[in-house]
Amino acid sequence: MDTRTELYINGAWVESTAEETIDVVNPATEETIGRVPNATAEDVDRAVRAARAAFPAWSGTTLEERIGWLTKLKEGIEARSEEFALLVTREMGAPLEMCRNVNVANASRSIEAIIQELQAFDFSEELGNSLIVYEPVGVAACITPWNFPLVQVIRKAATAMGTGNTVVVKPSEQTPLDAYLVAEVIHEIGLPQGVFNLVTGFGVPTGEALVSHPEVNLINLTGSTVAGKRVMALAADGLKKVALELGGKTANVILDDADLKQAIEAGLGSCYYNSGQVCVAQSRMLVPRERLEEATAIAKEIAESYSCGDPMERGGKLGPLVSERQHHRVRDYIRKGIEEGATLVTGGNDEPDGLDSGYYVRPTVFTNVSNDMTIAREEIFGPVLSIIPYEDEEDAIRIANDTPYGLAGAVWSGDMERAKKVARQIQAGKITINGAMWNSRGPFGGYKQSGIGREGGKHGIHEYLEVKCMDL
C-alpha cells in the first residue's frame, strides 16, 4: 500500500489539509494499492501561490538553463524507468511491456523532443519596425488523464517549464501515484522551489479550485469533452488562456482500392490499443457496402486472435479497463449496441475465460452499424469496434464527418493522391494515411468538440506563450 498524505508544494513535501482521501485501485486485481489526498481549495491556493512566487525568477532564466533542468529531469526518469513502468501497470492496467515501451520510453522521448523544439524556436523576430517577442504566460495548471498518465504529466509540465512558466499539476485521481514519482525525481535533481507543484484530487473540489484560482494564467487539460466544457466555463471568468485535448470518435475510412486485410488489421490494432482507452482509437471502421461481409469476416478472425490477461505477463494480451466505473460504462455501450440493432460479431459482455477478477472486457466487434447508433456517436473508451458500410467515396466522407468530434481520422487507399484528397475533406486534426508512423513532432489536437489548441512540436510550444509586439 502506497499511502500518501503529502503534496509537493514549493519544493517540499507538505501535509495536505484534506480529511478525505482517494483510493487507488489496481484494475487487474481490484485491490487498493494506494491512497492520496483529495486536496482542498486551501491546498490548491498554497500550490498556486508558490508557483506565482517562483515565476519571476524562473521566467528570467536563460533557455540554456531551463534545458539543463529538463535534461536532468529526463535522466532522473530514465534512472527509475522500471519503477515507473511497474507502477503505471499497477495503476491503470496497461501491459507491462507497453508501459516500458510507451509510457516510460515516450516520457523520456517527449522531453528530448521538447528540448529540440525549444532550441529551434525563435523567441523573437523582426517584422517591419516591430520586434515580436514570445513570453511565458505565467502559472500553468496542467490537468492530466489516466490513460497515459506519466507521458501526459511529463509532456505538459516539461513544455510549460521549458518555456519559462511555473506549474501546478493535477493528475487524474485514478492514476496519481506516478506523478508522485515525478515529483520525487524533481526534488532529487534540485529544481528551484515553486517551479513544479503537485496536488491530487477529484475534479471537485481540487480541479475546479485550480482552474478558478485568480493567479492561474493558463489551463492545459487532456480529458473528456464534458470536462473540457466545464474548464472553459470556469476559466471564462478570468479570461484565462485554455488549451484542451478532448474526446474523439475516429473514423477509419477504408476505400475500395485499399488492401482490405491490412487496413482492418491495423484498424483493429488502433481500436484495441491500451484496451481501447485511447482518444484516437479508430473505433468506427468505414468499409464499402459491397465488401461488408468480407470485412466482417476478416475483423472477426483478427479480433478473436486477441485475448485478455494479466498485464504483468508477457504477450500481446489486452489488460483491464482502468476502473469499475469504466467497466460498467463500456459494458452498457455493448448492451446498447445490441438493443439498437447492430450485429454482434464477436466479444460481448460475457466475462473473459479464466479471469476471476479485474475489469476486463472482451475484444468486441459490431457490424451493420449505422452512424446514428449510440455506439457510433459516443466515445466508448473500450475495445469495441463498429463496422459501418458506405455507398461511395462521398458517402464515406459524409459519415466520417457526421460526428461532434474531430480529433483524428484514418484513410486507406492504393492511390496515395486519392487518399490525401479524402483526408483533406475529413474534419479532424490528425489524419493517418495507410498506417503511417505517428510523427511526435507534428501538432496534435482537434476540431469541433475535440478541443482547442495543439500539443507537440512548435505548435505545442505556442500554447504556453504570450505574443508581445514592440514598435521601435
Catalytic one of 173, 279, 379, 463: 279
DSSP assignments along 215-259, one per residue: T--EEEEES-HHHHHHHHHHHHTTT-EEEEE-----EEEE-TTS-
Give, in order, the Cα–Cα distances in Å from 292 to each of 20, 264, 376, 387.
52, 12, 16, 8
The cell for 121 is 524556436
Phi, psi of 122 (to 5 degrees): -95, 105
Phi, psi of 46 (to 5 degrees): -60, -40
Catalytic one of 245, 379, 455, 463: 245
β pairing state of 139-143 and 166-170? parallel
**How far apart, in whole angstroms, are the C-alpha atoms of residue 183 and residue 179?**
6
Residues belonging to the chain: 472
**Given the C-alpha cell 469499475, which residue does it identify?**
324
Chain Cα centroid distance, residue 93: 15
Let me know if 271 is a catalytic residue: no
- Whether the CB-CB separation of 196 and 167 falls below 8 Å is answered with yes
Chain Cα centroid distance, residue 72: 24
Give, in order, the Cα–Cα distances in Å from 171 to each of 85, 149, 174, 180.
17, 7, 8, 10
Give, in order, the Cα–Cα distances in Å from 233 to each of 229, 236, 313, 315, 447.
6, 5, 44, 44, 19
- Whether the CB-CB separation of 93 and 433 falls below 8 Å is answered with no
Which burial class, exposed, middle or buried, applies to 457 when counting CB atoms under 10 A from its CB (0-12, 13-18, 19+)? buried
For residues 178, 320, 296, 349, the Cα torsion angle rounded to the nearest 10 degrees is -150
Eight-state DSSP code of residue 274 = G
- Is residue 50 helix, strand or coil? helix
Give, in order, the Cα–Cα distances in Å from 335 to each of 36, 112, 192, 332, 385.
34, 44, 52, 5, 14
Let me know if 279 is a catalytic residue: yes
- The contacts of residue 320 (CB under 8 Å, 6+ apart) are 27, 28, 93, 275, 308, 311, 327, 358, 359, 360
| Residues annotated as catalytic (active site), given as ranges | 245, 279
